[in-house]
Amino acid sequence: MKIHFKITRALADTVRIDLQRPHSFAYERVGFIAAGLAAAHDELLILAREYRPVRDDEYLQDPNVGAMMSGEAIRRARQWAMNDGVAIFHVHSHGGRGIPGFSGTDVRENAKFIPNFLSVAPQCVHGAVVLSDTAAIGQVWLDRKSPQPFINAFTEVGLPIRSWRAA
């Protein structure tokens, strides 16, 4: 399956700027992107629509990770998926240039909570995206049993259009 994630430059800039804000104790910021989906044959197009940051009071103090969300943050994102029938992508940034990677912590924690979005919006795929200052990498959960494929291509729609292969 070919998976392509598209986001407007304006929305990508909004997300990157928000994720750079300092927090009183968390080392990094996190948030959620809602997306629409289009599928045909063996291709899936993910169209980013809106971004919502995790609220300051929804971070938990955990010195073992850059940022730990509370159950309330995840509940709010699940409610968004259910109410609006949208795909939800957890997002955070590793900064730097080029295509980033998922850390071991990212892989472990994503596997714990992202499949739960399938129970409230099973008509959608859900996933996680890690940004750098110039690119991104992402992974999707098609269902609870299948392997989680990586997003093959990203496009930031703006002037100029920026595209890259991530998987």
Instruction: Convert 25-50 into a string of H (helix), E (strand) and C (coil).
Output: CCCCCEEEEEEEEEEECCEEEEEEEE
- The two beta strands, 136-141 and 153-157, are unpaired
Q: Name residues whose C-beta falls within 8 Å of residue 63's C-beta, 6 or more positions apart in sequence.
A: none
The rounded distance, in Å, linking the Cα atoms of 143 and 95 is: 30
What class does CATH assign to 2-158? Answer: alpha beta
Q: What would the pLDDT profile of 36-52 be if each residue is shown by its tens digit?
A: 999 999 999 999 999 99
pLDDT category, 107, cuts 50, 70, 90? Answer: very high
Reported residue count of the chain is 167
- pLDDT, residue 166, reads 77
pLDDT for res 2 = 96
Looking at the whole model, is its pTM more than 0.85? Answer: yes
Closest Cα to residue 150, out of 101, 114, 115, 116?
Answer: 101
CB atoms inside a 10 Å sphere around CB 54:
26
Question: What are phi and psi for residue 126, nearest 5 degrees?
Answer: -135, 165
